[in-house]
Amino acid sequence: MGTPHILHLDQLDRLERRVSGCRVGSCTAKLTSKTVTYWAQTDKLRYAQDVNFAILANFVDYTFEWRADPKDADIRSYLGEMDDEGGTVALAYLPSGPAGLRGMQIYDQADYLPIVNGGWGQFARAKLVDIVAHETDHSFGGEHIEERAKNGETPLSYPSVRTPQFGRRTLADIVQTIKVMGRPRFDIHELGAMSKYEELCRHQKESGEEE
């Protein structure tokens, strides 16, 4: 995809000052189509999105399609320059937000580059998939889930980065995603049955391992 153009923090500040009400939690995703399209600035960001959307397709009835031009995509993933490593990892804006920031995800290169340049092994792939999945859940209107599951698992939507799990959602993550995106592939009340939840977990694992 060539040398990526880096979005600098002052550019993002100018964009945000031009619009309002576009950050996560301030409006609804308002998905009007059964097809969600996406674009990513680098091959590795695209890889993470491909895995993430394959997992999402297990429990919401949407078709997720790649687009070669960001202007044609609902979700657009860019590299940006925000702060030092370990600070703000990424930002996400809703696809129904104002023009200019609509559907944008910005990943801080200070966190991105050490992941992808340190050897593109399974741990690095899993870590990037988790970060992208976390931001994509925000893109559809999901908020942070601050309570860990009873079995000790940390939600994908936990405020801080967890041990990489290749985009695997906890029960709370799945329920939130279904509520904000709609179009569930099953009755949401079935999630109370452990068999249904384990089936979803198995499908998530298989989706990640196919890559």
- Residue 37 has a pLDDT of 93
**pLDDT digit string (tens) for 87-146?**
778 888 776 666 677 788 888 888 888 888 888 888 888 889 999 998 898 888 888 888
Is 84 a residue whose pLDDT tops 90?
Answer: no
Q: Say how many CA atoms lie within 13 Å of 74 toward its Cβ.
A: 21
Asked, for residue 1, whether it belongs to a domain, the answer is no
- Kindly report whether the global pTM for this prediction surpasses the value 0.85: no
Token pair belonging to 120:
């593109």
Q: What is the CATH number of the domain that holds 159?
A: 3.40.390.10
Give the number of domains in the chain. Answer: 1
Is 63 a residue whose pLDDT tops 90?
Answer: yes
Is 191 a residue whose pLDDT tops 80?
Answer: no
Token pair belonging to 152:
């000790």
Asked, for residue 170, whether it belongs to a domain, the answer is yes
Q: Which of 3-7, 75-79, 162-166, 197-201 has the lowest mean pLDDT?
A: 3-7
Asked, for residue 138, whether it belongs to a domain, the answer is yes
Residues 149 and 172 sit within 8 Å (Cβ to Cβ): yes
Residues 97 and 19 sit within 8 Å (Cβ to Cβ): yes
For residue 133, what are the domain limits? 7-209
Asked, for residue 2, whether it belongs to a domain, the answer is no
Asked, for residue 176, whether it belongs to a domain, the answer is yes
